[in-house]
Each structure stands twice: as structure tokens, then as C-alpha cells.
Amino acid sequence: MAAHKKYFERYDTAVSVEKKEFDLTRTLGITLSDALRLGIYSMVQTMISQQDQKITSAILEQFVEIQKRDMEDLKAYIRMQDSAQKTLDKMIEMKKEEEKPKDLIKVWDPDDGYVRITKAEAEQRGLA
């Protein structure tokens, strides 16, 4: 699920729900507030599609305003997730780079005889 809902003019309410429905929401990780909110959206959209007489211009404007606000929240969440994913991708790439087998060369070390070391290490030690 997306990030937790930011509430504007929060209103707390108590609702009753059947145990099987409650258990289902818990199993699926659905919060009751999300279920209620999405249920409201679904019911309003159904009433709009059925051209219910209760759906006035004012109701449509209010519904569109709510949807636009939710869309902005979703866009912000997606931007945040995109940024986090880019950071993770960079970290994974760096880790892969670190784990790559290094190209070893065989060089003569006056102290140790022939040794296998990276070319950069050989240059650093003056053996290349």
C-alpha cells in the first residue's frame, strides 16, 4: 500500500465491521481507514456512473477536489520512492563493483618473491 494518508480536517469515527471482514483486512494489510475511504470513492463513482439524482455539481466539484489532493499526495509519494530506488540502485551497483574479482597480475616482489596483486597495487608499490 501507499504511504499513510495525510488527513485534512481529520474526523474520527467508529464503525462496526464483521469479524471475517476485519480478519481479511488484517491478513491483507489493509487499514480500516483505507477501506472506508476507498469504499466511499467506489460508491460515489458508482452513483456518478448511474447518474444518481443526489450527485449535484457541488458534489462533483467536492469529489474532484478530493481526488486531485489525493493524486498530489500519490505523486509526492512516487517521487520519494523513485529517489529511494535510485539510491538503492547506486548502492547495489557499488556493492557489485566491490565484489567483482579484481584483475591480478604476477609480479616479482623483492621481499616476497612472485606475488599476485592488482595492477593498481603493483603501481602503488612500484612493482609494475
From the CB of residue 52, how many other CB atoms can be counted at a distance below 10 Å?
13
Task: Look at residue 56 and tell me if it is in a domain.
Answer: yes
| Listed residue (89, 83, 120) closest to 105, CA to CA | 120
Compute CA distances 75 → 80, 86, 90, 96, 116, whole Å: 9, 16, 23, 31, 53
Task: Look at residue 81 and tell me if it is in a domain.
Answer: yes
Q: Which residues of the chain have pLDDT under 50?
A: 1
| Enclosing domain of residue 54 | 19-99
Q: What is the model's pLDDT at position 2?
A: 52
Write down the pTM of the prediction: 0.56
Task: Look at residue 107 and tell me if it is in a domain.
Answer: no
Task: Look at residue 9 and tell me if it is in a domain.
Answer: no
pLDDT digits (tens, 9 = 90+) for 48-78: 999 999 999 999 999 999 999 989 988 998 9
Quote the number of domains for the chain.
1
Task: Look at residue 84 and tell me if it is in a domain.
Answer: yes
Task: Look at residue 3 and tell me if it is in a domain.
Answer: no
Task: Look at residue 11 and tell me if it is in a domain.
Answer: no
